[in-house]
């Protein structure tokens, strides 16, 4: 496609976004949808701006992001270490792998009732659920990455007189990196979802709780502001990880 055509279509894409917001404005202006359900874009923007500058929306965002990142980092560390141990040993894979595969389709949110049974409706419950739920995608991806090491590379390592640690560090880990990064990306999505649900259920401060309370009180501008912020968090984290992936995996292309 020619550059000018591309630019034109990109402009059309921006215009389409503007048209969607315009349609939203008109729909609320002429009362096509009740304002209790759909606030006007102006009032949503105002709620967003006020909440971030003078209200406590900023604190809610920080609480959710902090919870999500803390759980995700812990799960990443445990997932990568455990996954590399299981993945680089054929015996461990044969004994443990099937059990892990069986647990793969289990919804991470199903851990929440168990978390509540053990920890009550507390902050540690939410964090434990995030950690545990995020661990699975990371663990399975790491195992897969380590298992996919070309046996010939293993032989090369043996010829070069590499020990086990050297083989892991110089061959297996770089080889598994794409899988690990993909798992970390999926894990971050899971962590955000579990943070939101956990906050809603346990009444812990954060965006999940604040949008639920806004909906209960029919404060629809606050509700939509919260949803927009959650979308922004998802967008930003994905963008950062995609950039990291590009950097780290540059040697492959």
Partner 1 sequence: MKGLVLPILLVALAEGAARTFGIASDSLAAPSDIAAALAEALADGRLLLWSAQTVASALAGLAIGGGLGLVLGLLVGLSPATGRVLHLPIEFLRPIPSVALLPVALLGFGFGYRLEIAIVAFACFWPVLIIGSAAISGVERRLLEVGRVLRFGPLARIRKIVLPAALPRLFVAFRLAAGVSLIVAVTVEIALNPLGLGYAMMYAQETLRPALMFAVLVWVGLVGWAINALLLTAQRRLFGPAALVNAGP
Nearer CB in complex with partner 1: 17/77: 17
Task: By CB under 8 A, tell whether 138 contacts partner 1.
Answer: no
Using the rule CB under 8 A, give the single segment among 40-48, 80-88, 149-157, 192-200 that binds partner 1.
192-200
Helix H segments across the chain? Answer: 3-29, 41-53, 57-87, 90-103, 111-119, 123-147, 151-159, 164-167, 173-202, 207-216, 220-248
Inter-CA distances, 249 with 181, 199, 241, Å:
9, 35, 12
CA–CA separation, 120 and 129 (whole Å): 12
Q: Please report whether residue 32 would count as binding partner 1 according to CB under 8 A.
A: no
Give yes or no for residue 189 binding partner 1 (CB under 8 A): yes
Distance CA 141, CA 31 (A): 49
Q: How far is the CB of 68 from partner 1 (least distance, A)?
A: 10
* Cα–Cα dist 95/116, whole Å: 31
* Counts of helices then strands in the chain (DSSP H, E): 11, 0
Specify the 3-state DSSP secondary structure of 217.
coil
175 binds partner 1, rule: CB under 8 A:
no
Stretch that binds partner 1, among 55-63, 75-83, 190-198, 242-250 (CB under 8 A): 190-198
Stretch that binds partner 1, among 77-85, 135-143, 166-174, 219-227 (CB under 8 A): 219-227
Copy the structure tokens of residue 253: 């292309």
**214 in contact with partner 1 (CB under 8 A):** yes
139 binds partner 1 (CB under 8 A): no
93-98: long-range pairs with CB below 8 Å, 24+: 93/143, 93/147, 97/143
Task: For the segment 102-131, give every residue that binds partner 1 (CB under 8 A).
Answer: 102-103, 105-110, 112-114, 116-118
- Determine, following the binding rule CB under 8 A, whether residue 82 of this chain makes contact with partner 1: no
- Point out which residues bind partner 1 (CB under 8 A): 1, 5-6, 9-10, 12-14, 16-17, 20, 36-37, 94-99, 102-103, 105-110, 112-114, 116-118, 189, 192-193, 196-197, 200-201, 207-208, 211-212, 214-216, 218, 220, 223-224, 226-227, 230-232, 234-235, 238
């Amino acid at each position: 496609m020619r550059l000018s055509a591309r630019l034109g279509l990109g402009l059309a894409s921006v215009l389409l976004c503007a048209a969607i917001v315009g349609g939203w404005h008109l729909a609320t202006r002429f009362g096509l949808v009740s304002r209790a359900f759909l606030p006007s874009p102006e009032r949503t923007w105002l709620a967003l701006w006020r909440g971030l500058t003078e209200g406590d929306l900023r604190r809610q965002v920080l609480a959710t992001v902090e919870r999500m990142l803390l759980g995700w980092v812990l799960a990443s560390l445990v997932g990568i270490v455990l996954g590399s141990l299981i993945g680089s040993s054929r015996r461990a894979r044969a004994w443990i792998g099937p059990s892990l595969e069986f647990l793969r389709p289990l919804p991470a949110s199903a851990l929440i009732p168990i978390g509540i049974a053990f920890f009550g409706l507390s902050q540690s419950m939410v964090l434990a659920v995030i950690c545990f739920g995020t661990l699975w995608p990371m663990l399975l991806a790491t195992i897969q990455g380590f298992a996919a090491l070309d046996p010939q590379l293993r032989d090369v390592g043996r010829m070069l007189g590499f020990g086990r640690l050297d083989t892991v560090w110089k061959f297996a880990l770089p080889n598994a990196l794409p899988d690990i990064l993909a798992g970390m990306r999926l894990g971050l999505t899971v962590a955000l979802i579990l943070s939101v649900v956990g906050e809603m259920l346990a009444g812990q401060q954060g965006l999940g709780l604040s949008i639920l309370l806004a909906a209960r009180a029919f404060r629809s501008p606050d509700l939509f502001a919260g949803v927009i912020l959650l979308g922004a968090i998802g967008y930003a984290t994905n963008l950062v990880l995609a950039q990291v992936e590009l950097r780290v995996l540059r040697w492959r292309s």
